[in-house]
Structure 1
């Protein structure tokens, strides 16, 4: 299997694992939901987990891959405020945890670029 064939499946796997995590261990996701959002943190945790699972299925399927990958890129941008919230909230934690929270911020960039690349590759193949 070539790299271009593995890439969407790896992205789908990442999205699925994260989506499952939202349901299996919701408390850690609840903690990073920006408090300015309406409703409960748990509702946002479950909703974002469901979106990730749907995106995983969409990216895994060649028929829906292009659209799902584009939406995944937008989703990665959309959840960035949760990473900012985590960095702010963890500013008083021990240095390794602060560093981990801060490291999450620039990691959104490669995720967005990865999803866009999967979408672009799907366009070339269709």
Structure 2
């Protein structure tokens, strides 16, 4: 997450701008910078969060992945080439993999672990 966030702000800025859907009423660069800052923050929080806060961070990270999902849908529907995704098939595969990121974030946060107590409710 931190690496992707840094890429938003540096080397892959143009690629990320290409993924911002045309219907988003905010400047593309502002969206890319904002999402990059959020990714850096979430990535750092994931690494540094004490056990009692990992559930919160995992939930926020999952919500972030859900929030950016419309951009992935738009990339597929509009046929936008970015990050080497130059075919409908490649864009569709990426689109279908996005829910795995949501599940990963929930798992890392402890939401999907069977029988695990909510650590943020412990005294």
TM norm structure 2: 0.78
Which structure 2 residues correspond to residues 1-126 of structure 1 after superposition, within 5 A?
15-24=1-10, 25-63=12-50, 64-90=53-79, 97-120=87-110, 124=117, 126=119
SS at match of 1:37: coil
Structure 2, gaps ≥5 residues long: none
SS at match of 2:109: helix
SS at match of 1:82: helix
How far apart in 1 are the matches of 2:18 and 2:4? 15
1:103: Cα distance to partner? 0.9
1:90: Cα distance to partner? 1.9
TM norm structure 1: 0.76
Aligned residues: 110
Q: CA RMSD in A?
A: 2.3
How far apart in 2 are the matches of 1:97 and 1:69? 32
Change (3 A) 1:125 1:91: closer
SS at match of 1:60: helix
